[in-house]
Amino acid sequence: MKATIWHNPACGTSRNTLAILQDAGHDVTVVEYLKMPPGAEKLAQIYRDAGITPQQGLRLRGTDAQERGLPQADDATVLAAMAAEPKLIERPLVETEKGVRLCRPKELVLEIL
């Protein structure tokens, strides 16, 4: 099975999720989203497919998202902020043919394998 992980190698949860995918023998495409950020349209699709809102995909820890009011902002504002500043994207996000999950905790990836 093919899988894409939106990955931050500095994140333990992201590394562990990637290891689950690799150990299961999946064909994994690794996208280091801090270096190659997704656009707002791609993010909207990912969150829609995951069944969550952009606000639920917003990284609060280690960011100024709260101070900027992003958790209460409309979808377009949140998506634009994430596209401009990918550190605002919570990780890891995994896409497979079975769906998309924000894998926090890492075991959520098992739902789409």
Q: Which residues are catalytic?
A: 11
User: What are the distances in angstroms from CA 5 to CA 42, 43, 103?
Assistant: 13, 13, 10
Identify residue 12 by its one-letter amino acid code. G
**β-bridge mates for residue 31, sequence order:** 6
Cβ proximity of 100 and 50 under 8 Å: yes
Burial category of 3 from C-beta neighbours within 10 Å (exposed 0-12, middle 13-18, buried 19 and up): buried
Cβ proximity of 71 and 57 under 8 Å: no
